[in-house]
C-alpha cells in the first residue's frame, strides 16, 4: 500500500506568507494599478496591451507557482518559458528597473517589509535581470 502524501503546505513559502492566492492577487493588482496610473512606469506600460486583465491573470497564475503555491500557470498554459515569451518585447535596463520599482512599491503597499521584502525583491531582481534582451541600454 502506498504511503499517504503529505499535503501540508510549507508555511515558510512566500506564497503562504503573502496570504495564498488572495494575497498574490492583491500584489499583482496593485502592481498593475501602479503601472497603469503612474507616469514613472510609462515605458513599462507601453510593453503591455491596452487592457490589462489578461496580463494580470497571467502574472497572478505565474507568481502563485513561482512563490511556492499551486502551478496555476502551468495548468492553464503549460511551461512558462518566461524568457522566450518575453523575447518579442524590447526589455533593457530601464524596463527592468521600472518593473522592479513598480513591484517594490506594490509590495510595500501590501505591507511586505523587512527581510521578507528584501528576499522577494532579490528574487524578482534575478528574474527581471534575466529577462533583459537589449544588452545594457
Domain ranges of the chain: 15-130
The overall pTM is greater than 0.75: yes
Residue 40 CB: number of other CB atoms within 10 A?
13
Contact of 16 with 9, CB cutoff 8 Å: yes
Q: What is the mean pLDDT of residues 111-122?
A: 98
| pLDDT recorded at residue 34 | 98
| pLDDT recorded at residue 136 | 53
| pLDDT recorded at residue 134 | 82
Q: Is the pLDDT of residue 4 over 50?
A: no
Predicted confidence band of residue 12 (pLDDT cuts 50, 70, 90)? confident
Among the four given CATH numbers 1.10.490.10, 1.20.1250.20, 1.10.357.10, 2.40.50.100, the one describing domain 15-130: 1.10.490.10
Measure the CA–CA gap between 83 and 110, rounded to whole angstroms: 27
Q: What is the DSSP string of the chain?
A: -PPPP-----TTSHHHHTTHHHHHHHHHHHHHHHHHH-GGGHHHHTTS-SS-HHHHHHHHHHHHHHTTS--HHHHHHS---HHHHHTTS---HHHHHHHHHHHHHHHHHTT--HHHHHHHHHHHHHHHHHT--SS--
| pLDDT recorded at residue 113 | 97
- pLDDT, tens only, 64-93: 999 999 999 999 999 999 999 999 999 999
Q: Is the pLDDT of residue 137 over 90?
A: no
| pLDDT recorded at residue 5 | 42
- Please identify which residue in the block is written with the cell numbers 494599478: 33
Measure the CA–CA gap between 7 and 66, rounded to whole angstroms: 18
Measure the CA–CA gap between 39 and 36, rounded to whole angstroms: 8
- pLDDT, tens only, 34-63: 999 999 999 999 999 999 999 999 999 999
Amino acid at each position: 500500500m502506498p504511503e499517504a502524501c503529505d499535503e501540508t503546505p510549507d508555511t515558510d513559502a512566500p506564497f503562504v506568507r503573502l496570504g495564498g492566492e488572495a494575497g498574490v492577487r492583491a500584489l499583482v493588482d496593485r502592481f498593475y494599478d501602479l503601472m497603469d496610473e503612474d507616469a514613472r512606469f510609462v515605458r513599462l506600460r507601453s510593453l503591455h496591451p491596452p487592457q490589462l486583465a489578461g496580463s494580470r491573470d497571467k502574472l497572478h497564475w505565474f507568481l502563485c507557482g513561482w512563490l511556492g503555491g499551486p502551478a496555476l500557470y502551468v495548468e492553464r498554459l503549460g511551461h512558462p518559458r518566461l524568457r522566450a515569451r518575453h523575447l518579442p518585447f524590447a526589455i533593457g535596463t530601464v524596463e527592468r528597473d521600472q518593473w522592479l520599482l513598480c513591484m517594490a512599491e506594490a509590495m510595500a503597499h501590501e505591507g511586505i517589509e523587512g527581510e521578507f521584502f528584501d528576499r522577494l525583491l532579490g528574487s524578482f531582481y534575478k528574474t527581471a535581470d534575466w529577462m533583459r534582451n537589449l544588452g545594457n541600454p
